[in-house]
Each structure stands twice: as C-alpha cells, then as structure tokens.
Amino acid sequence: MIALLTGRLAFKAPSHLALDVQGVGYEVFIPLSTYYNLPNVQDSLTLSIHTHVREDAIQLFGFSTPQEKDAFVLLLSVSGIGPKSALGILSALPVSDLVSAIQSGDVEKLETVPGIGKKSAGRLVLELKDKLTKLHPALVPSDAQLLKGRDEQFDDALSALTNLGYRTSDAKEALKAAQQLCSGPLTLQELIRESLKKLARG
C-alpha cells in the first residue's frame, strides 16, 4: 500500500493532481484544504497518501498533513460515508473544526457540508465521538485541559460579577447554579448572562 509520495507536481486542480515520481505519473484525489497548500506546478511535493482499493479500481487520496489523512480514514469508518463524501467534509471543514463539531455534537455545523444531511451528520457524531483519540492528540482536548479551561472561565466570570458590585459569595453561588442548569458547555458571555438572571431573581 502506498502511504507517502514525493515527486514533482505535474498538474493540479481543486479535486485532483498529478504527481510525477521518477517518471511515473500518479493521479491523486485531494480535498480543497490540500489544494490551497499546493506549491507551483513543477515544484517538489510530498503528500500523505491513503490507498483505496475497490473491486474495479485502486485510487490514491492525498493530504498535505498526516492529520488530514487520519481524519479521512476515520470518516471512511462511518457507515454511508465513502471517499467522495469524506473529501467533501474535509474540503468544507478544517480538521480542528470537524473535531470540535463532533465533540460538541454540533449536528447543524456538520449539516453545512454539501451532501451531508441530518441523518448523516447525526451518524458522524454518534460513530466518531469515541474514536477522536485516533486523530492527532493535540487536536483533541484532554479532560485536564477542559477542566482548566472551565476553571479559568469561572474565575473570569466571577471577576466580572464582583466588578458589577455583587458579593463574591453570591456571585459564586449564581455561577455554580448556572453551570448546573445548562447541560452543554457555556461561553463566558453566556455564563455571565445566566448568572445575572439568577442574581436578579435572588
């Protein structure tokens, strides 16, 4: 199986390119994210490659980063997602945005990808949420990083509320109540807004 190719870029288009490797031209299908990172024609190029074997063809899919390739392979593991759909997803969403959407269950964001409907978006979240660790670890926040982020957000919100004149003890109680009432993660603005509602009600 071909995993990596280095050669001279002989031709490029938004959906595919031709790579001349010591006189042999390889047709490689690519997402837009890779196309935008391509050098000029005739320049040297190295691509991470996924070899897709079908009964009637062997196709090569190329990516400018290993993370893109890993995401592509992961997308192929979802029932109903083929190479064309996987390329479309990576063309519409950077890997970091894809990871974020799957982690947070943001079906609406996944639905913005052409060809991905509500059912497919839901399937992506359901089947990939527990597999994200297979992607580059740096792209997947650890539990410790998430907790640290929440602590910093709590402190920032507490500072904002005390600056508005609320007592520290009252502000802390309101913040904790706001966090418990909302099942999903809150932005700093949302946390402050929900806490203010709580404080206004007493």
Task: Give the pLDDT score at 183.
Answer: 56
Residue ranges of the chain with per-residue pLDDT less than 70? 133-151, 182-185, 202
Structural domain harbouring 117 = 70-139
Task: Give the pLDDT score at 80.
Answer: 87
Q: Which helix (H) or strand (E) holds 11?
A: strand 4-12
Is residue 96 located within the same domain as residue 116?
A: yes
Is residue 41 located within the same domain as residue 95?
A: no
Domain count, the chain: 3
Structure tokens at 153: 């957000």
Contact 16, 27 (CB under 8 A): yes
Cβ within 8 Å of residue 26, ≥6 positions away? 5, 7, 18, 19, 60
- We report the CATH number of the domain holding residue 190 as 1.10.8
Task: Give the pLDDT score at 137.
Answer: 52
Task: State which of 45, 63, 81 marks the end of a domain.
Answer: 63
Task: Give the pLDDT score at 149.
Answer: 46
* pLDDT per position as a tens digit, 165-202: 888 888 888 888 887 776 566 777 788 888 888 888 76
Is residue 129 located within the same domain as residue 84?
A: yes
Is residue 74 located within the same domain as residue 56?
A: no
- We report the CATH number of the domain holding residue 132 as 1.10.150.20
Cβ within 8 Å of residue 147, ≥6 positions away? none
Task: Give the pLDDT score at 150.
Answer: 57
Is residue 33 located within the same domain as residue 75?
A: no
Q: Considering the entire predicted model, what is its pTM?
A: 0.65
